Amino acid sequence: MSTLVTPEELAALDGVTILDVRWRLGGGPSDRESYTEGHIPGAVFCALDTDLAAAPGAGGRHPLPEAADFQAAMRRLGVDGSRTVVVYDEADATAAARAWWTLRYFGHQDVRVLDGGIRAWRHAGLPIEEGAGAEPAPGGFTAVPGGMPTLDADQAADLATSGVLLDARAAERYRGEVEPIDPVAGHVPGAVSAPTSENVEPGGRFHNREFLRERFNTLGAVDGVPVGVYCGSGVTAAHEVLALDLAGIPAALYVGSWSHWVADPARPVATG
């Protein structure tokens, strides 16, 4: 079973739940407005900031929701544990991957990602639906945490020396040259720069398995070496975990990521 689906494959699927996870940093009504202006027929809007994360705080900017809260959100969106879920965003799966990872973490076994997002769907000439969409029938999903490996801050620090810890942010943020969001610039000491943008082709589709595997092998993620990923707040890092999964490389996610790391001034920061 492939994690990725093409627009044509999605159009041929019956009985699936489709979640529109279009999102931009800072969130707000603009995300839902994009959905209202045009979405894949039958898709339901999923708000990353509230449906796929708890409120910002000590756990970072996008901490994991409590199991009961996530379960309630997914049931409201019509998600059922026995039915395939397909998630998509605008193009590059940055937000869709967070939905894929969170659903998998809480125990859903069949979650697919639309490769290329709604941009690829439009490019294929497939129909678009406007408006608020129909209210889905409540789903029966039961959230059971632990379906995907995670790291806390101490484990991430250890992995940076005992294995490979990938930093999925833009290279200039890794180097500490700029930091537009979090209060401290730099990276976890020992982490390796691996920008998420390099996982996809121009237009947003993922590179093929061979390309991704070679990329991550070059960064030290080879067979037998434990791998972890972080980013700013656990969103683009989920995209990196998905890319690693496509390459056949298991990886753990530091959900709190840099926004959690720098919340404790005692934690070391590297630059350059």
Q: Degrees (nearest 5) of the Cα angle 174, 196, 255? A: 75
Task: Decide if 79 contacts 139 (C-beta within 8 A).
Answer: yes
- Residue at 24: amino acid letter: R
* Phi then psi dihedrals of residue 83, to 5 deg: -120, 135
In degrees, rounded to 5, the angle at the alpha carbon of residue 248 between the alpha carbons of residues 247 and 251 is 95
Complete DSSP assignment for 48-117: HHHHSS--SBTTBSSPPPPHHHHHHHHHHTT--TTS-EEEE-SSS-HHHHHHHHHHHHTT-S-EEEETTH
Which phi and psi angles does 96 have, rounded to 5°? -60, -35
- Terminal CA-CA length for the chain: 41
- 74, 95, 231, 247: which one is catalytic? 231
- Residue 231 catalytic? yes
- Cα gap 75→38, rounded to integer Å: 23
Give the residue numbers marked as catalytic: 231
